[in-house]
Chain A
Amino acid sequence: MARLPPRDLIGLDPAWSNLVSAIDADGVKRTWHVLDSGRESARGTVLCIHGNPNWSYMWRGLAQSLTDWRVIAVDALNMGFSERTGGPRRLADHISDLAAVTRALDIEGPVITIAHDWGGPISMGWAQQNLDQLAGVVLMNTGVARPLAVKVPPLISIARATLRATCKTTPMFLHGALRMARPQLTREVYRGYAAPYRTAALRTGVRDFVEDIPIEQTHESFETLAGVAAGLDKLQDVPALLMWGAKDIIFSDAFLHDLMQRLPHADVHRYPDAGHQIVEDTDAIDLIDTWINDRVSGARVPISTPNGPRTSAPIWSAVELRRNDDAKAIIEMRSKATERVERSISFGQLDERVQSLARGLLVAGIRPGDRLATLVPPGIDLTVLVYACLRAGIIVVAPDAGLGLDGLRRALRSSRPDYVVGDWRGLLLAKSLRLPATRLRLSSLDELAGSGSTVTTPAEPLPDDPAVVVFTSGSTGPSKGVVYTHRQLEAQRDALHGAFGIEPSDKAVVAFAPFAVLAPALGIPSVVPPMDVTKPAKLTAQTIADAATAIEATIVFASPAVLTNIAATSDDLQGPSRSALQSIRAVATAGAPVSPQLLAAIQPVFPNAHFFTPYGMTELMPVTIASANEIGADASDAGVCVGQPLATVDLTIRPITAPSGTFPDPLAAGMLGEVWVRANHLSQGYDHLWRNQSHAFTNDSSVNHKGQAALSAKPTKSGDIPLAASTIGPTRAASWHRSGDVGHLDEFGRLWIEGRVDHLIHAATGVFAPVETELQAESVSGVDHAVAVGVGPIGNQQLAVVVAGESVGSTVVADALVTAAVRAAVSAEIAAVLVTPTIPVDRRHNSKIDRTRVQKWAETVLRGGKPPRL
């Protein structure tokens, strides 16, 4: 018999519990325990289906928080508090049982199904039979078929082999599954989950569920499951959300990948650190709420991906245009002084190799739309590979060695490439990461290129097809994959071409990895100095001068860290090397702003150069390109001036406090707020992170143009001419990106950056950015670096200033003199002045302060904890 759950389970309102009777497929009257939030005036019904070993208790949060929808969660027969039937229920039974319950409840209007674990196939079976009502589907850590690459998970094998002991007689399987929660469930919640399974008799259904996993083809549920899987193609116009705890040892990423291929239109949010019990581990309930509001209107709308007309030349076109040109396109340097030029390739050769490799990759079985990760150092091989993939429509996953080993692992796991190409080191790494991708040796690419030479040229990818996945640095939270389409890449090339005023006669030294691949797209020759991508700061003035000499360079791309080292080692330069650097007309930096001190030190090395500092983010680069020569002279305002936005970028400052999904009006000049940007070269968004996407990319079709008034007076640079003949159209992309950076615009329309939203200090007296405090603290003699962080609850934070420098001592709490001096120099109220031997910077740029770490450190010591390592 079905029962009602105990009335004192935490989070479960006894008023939601009902016993519902209906006739099952065999004509027998059965009784189910059903949670029903009972909100009749709702937009529709959310139908929740649990997995094994579980019950509708897992949906209590949804019943609580989805106020616009009637939430119904059914305990399967033999599970939870539903009737024990005395015999096993198979997948087909569960599907027809669910239909019986929904008929008995007389559910009308739109229905969204939400399911977890083995509830997934049940919900999909129901969905396919009720397409006319179906308004959306949400699946989490489930599967409808075992992906080929996946062996039967050991836990399931063990459970299957020892069914009686593990699942029924003892509660081992139950407790094992519940203990997969990360972090562990509280005792009260644990009690809630275990409540219906206290005796062996009550656990029969748990055993039956495990037994019903159709591992072999002869299993009685095999056909049913195969039918459910095949039927998913009926859901191609139904909004779908796949939510995944990536640390699930049963429904691993492979199952997510399988579902993504069956539901290619689905929104995906993957939680890298959550496990199987995703509802307990994460903010899943909140995400579902957001997603339903955003994606499910109640009535069904067809989902289509418009692929608009071409607006600029393909990314490879500059190379293609020079296909008859013998001039060097790329030169790779090596560190030996005797033989400095290691390899080179002409434009003609480059075009030929790109074309043939593009064909070869397809011949090798890689399909357009597949993902291919490159673990190849910058240089000719990487450039050829990237252009070949783009030409063939293969999506390039480009992790950055600067992410560090752990960052690289997370990047590759989350982006899930189908193929990995690397040199021996890259492949060793891919192997050690146990990526489920096919590994290809870099040296085998020549063979592929050869095999492709006889095949006809592949079709060009469409402008709105995804082209690359790149990664955020991780200095502002866990690294995120960022997807660019071909159109967006082309727009980015055009923006950079215009902003740097690239002339056909230009030649570049590329000491900043991302630009190494870009140079051929800009149509200019480049030289790559020998560099360890993880330690770019080791490049010396001599290496750069050698590179410049080899190509008669006019432009240098480098990070501030590299420039610092160049300045430090420039005394050793001899006459010819010096004159090679005198021919440099432009030095472009990226990663972090150039300080006035660095500018003063580096200018004598490049006496004729203009210094450009682009400001932007992985999601949109560049936003501004400031001339460091101008900005160094004027540092009168709060923060760091990064110049005016490009003519092709819309930039507004909007309130920091704007909740996700809102589109507040821009703030006036001078007011501190979050930087919002929009441009044709804005990326598509985040990879498999729907939640971050919905927060940071606001797709507002009724676009608000108020922000443009302040910027319209800005002069258009003469260099703002796109590379391709077909220019950027008058209409801008509709999507705005909230950058997470905070700052303000001055009266000249210049942007001043004052930090990150996450690093703002939310004091009781108001919100302020750390940069001004830091600059004031750094004016104290002996203080080399200062980081201002907030500690304590938002809205009542205290300000701590963490300083480093040779003469500030080494105690955690600064001594009386330093404390007094910093307090006197800083205008804000300081609670504590702390001292640390070094300030950590993020690995990629070697230049951005890792504020999150400093903040955590300060929080720990000010709580009274042992100072962690910084």
Chain B
Amino acid sequence: MLGRAVAQTIGRNGHTVTVLQRRPSGLDYAEIQGDITDQQVVRSAVKDQQAVIHLAARVSPAGRWRDFADVNIGGTSNLINASQQAGVTRFVYVSSPSVASSGKAHIGESALPADPASTRSYYARSKAEAEQLVLARAGGEMAVTAVRPHLVWGPGDEQLVARVVRRATSGSLRLIGSGAALVDSTYVDNAADALAAALDQAPAIDGQALVISNGEPRPVTELLRGLCDAAGFELPMRCVPTWAAKAGGALVEAVWAAGRLTTDPPMTRFLAEQLSTAHWYDQRLTRELLDWTPTVSIDDGLARLADWYR
């Protein structure tokens, strides 16, 4: 969803866009199909490009470390090496705030350095290592930057919205704790605008990591309620205590790992923490450096989501 929105945004801004996808995108741009773990494909994709925005990642709450490492670290490594060789001058890596999340609450902080050792999931750890890999190239001919959108949602979203809706319809969605933890989120169009802005500002923000969000944190209950409302479901008000969710998450992770299951697990520790502790960020520096502000508020975004579901 975000990749599509970014391609359209920078295309509208007058850039010539090429997309590298595993499956056909259905977009009106030059397209290369393939996997970023394939060096050959990557080299041909970045050939003659001036800038690369890297959004490809394995995103899943569960799975084996190898699978995350191969795509998120190996793939990123392929891409940045190839980009440097091809003379690309701007490289924007789409990261995640979870790369600096050790399970503690984030309360109005700005982006902290990625810390793979303290991350709480394979996804976050692989993204953190990849971010370090990218930012280590700062100071060269190619400007590198990491942009970390927090909880992206919008029409067509397969990560947050679709999961919440699936759970809500199957009756397996639970609120954790009092559901009051304040969380930031990002409407997809705002994230796309911010990435386009990062591309424009790349030389000025070489080597930096920036968190982006709508800058409108909400209690997690209110956010989920809004997403369910937009999709036409009522948010179930069943709650689980935080400790139970974390313990259950740990158990589920063990079972999924032992069984090599690839389906979505009902709960993980990472998810339990994300849903029960505050995660909101200082947007002042981000907005100043990117010369960007979100144009779609949460309320407007929810209205658009509701339209999309209708």
Contacts and interface: CB of A to CB of B under 8 A. Distances in A.
Given A764-B283, A813-B179, A832-B182, A863 B105 contact: yes
A812 B222 CA distance: 11
Interface centre among B109, B178, B217, B277 (most CB of A within 10 A): B178
A864 interface: yes
A862 B218 CA distance: 9
A861 B280 contact: no
B282 A796 contact: yes
Given A764-B284, A812-B180, A862-B182, A793 B108 contact: yes
B219 interface: yes
A798 interface: yes
Contacts of A641: none
A831 B183 CA distance: 10
Contacts of B242: 864, 866
Nearest to B276: A864
A791 interface: yes
Given A813-B222, A864-B278, A791 B109 contact: no
A819 interface: yes
A797 B278 contact: no
A584 to B, nearest CB: 48
A832 B184 CA distance: 12
Given A864-B242, A864-B277, A796 B108 contact: yes
Contacts of A866: 177-178, 242
B221 interface: yes
Contacts of A459: none
A854 to B, nearest CB: 14
Contact of B222 (A793, A796, A832, A864): A832
A357 to B, nearest CB: 58
B277 A863 contact: yes
B227 interface: no
A819 B277 CA distance: 21
Nearest to B178: A812
Nearest to B225: A816
B160 interface: no
A791 B105 CA distance: 13
Interface size class of B (residues with CB under 8 A): 20 to 34
Nearest to B273: A864
B216 A864 contact: no
Contacts of B181: 862-864
A793 B180 contact: no
Given A796-B108, A866-B178, A831 B218 contact: yes
B212 to A, nearest CB: 15
Interface string A853-870: 000000001111011000
A792 interface: yes
A739 B73 CA distance: 57
Interface in B221-243: 221-222, 225, 229, 237, 242
Interface string A805-820: 0000001110010010
B107 interface: yes
A863 to B, nearest CB: 5
Contact of B217 (A798, A819, A867): A798
B107 A863 contact: yes
Contact of B180 (A764, A829, A862): A862
Given A813-B221, A816-B225, A793 B107 contact: yes
A863 B222 contact: no
A796 B284 contact: yes
Interface in B258-303: 276-278, 280, 282-284
B222 A798 contact: no
B108 A798 contact: yes
A769 to B, nearest CB: 20
A816 B276 CA distance: 20
B284 A813 contact: no
A813 B222 CA distance: 8
Contacts of A813: 178-180, 219, 221-222
A861 B222 CA distance: 14
A862 B276 CA distance: 9
A823 to B, nearest CB: 9
Contacts of B276: 864
A793 B217 contact: no
A818 to B, nearest CB: 11
A834 interface: yes
A863 B279 CA distance: 8
Interface in B204-219: 215-219
Of A764, A811, A862, most buried by chain B (CB within 10 Å of CB) is A862
A831 B214 CA distance: 12
Nearest to A859: B107
A793 B277 CA distance: 16
Interface in B38-52: none
A317 B218 CA distance: 62
B225 to A, nearest CB: 6
Nearest to A860: B180
Nearest to A800: B182
A786 B282 CA distance: 27
Given A792-B107, A831-B218, A861 B180 contact: yes
Contacts of B109: 793
Contacts of A792: 107-108, 280
Contacts of B225: 816
B204 to A, nearest CB: 21
Contact of A798 (B180, B182, B284): B182
Nearest to B175: A813
A797 B215 CA distance: 11
Contacts of B182: 791, 798, 831-832, 862-863
Interface in B87-122: 105, 107-109
B290 to A, nearest CB: 15
A764 B237 CA distance: 33
Contact of B280 (A795, A798, A812, A867): A798
Interface string A770-798: 00000000000000000000011101111
A540 B176 CA distance: 47
Which residue, of B180, B216, B237, B283, has the highest number of chain A Cβ atoms within 10 A? B180
A793 B108 CA distance: 6
Contacts of A764: 215, 282-284
Contacts of A863: 105, 107, 181-182, 277-278
A536 B100 CA distance: 53
A864 B108 contact: no
5 contacts: A793-B108, A793-B109, A796-B284, A812-B179, A863-B277
Given A793-B109, A862-B181, A863-B105, 12 more contacts: A791-B182, A796-B108, A797-B108, A813-B178, A813-B222, A816-B229, A831-B182, A831-B216, A834-B219, A861-B180, A864-B177, A866-B178
Listed from nearest, the 10 A-B pairs whose CB atoms lie closest are A792-B108, A864-B181, A864-B277, A812-B178, A861-B180, A796-B108, A813-B221, A862-B182, A793-B108, A813-B219
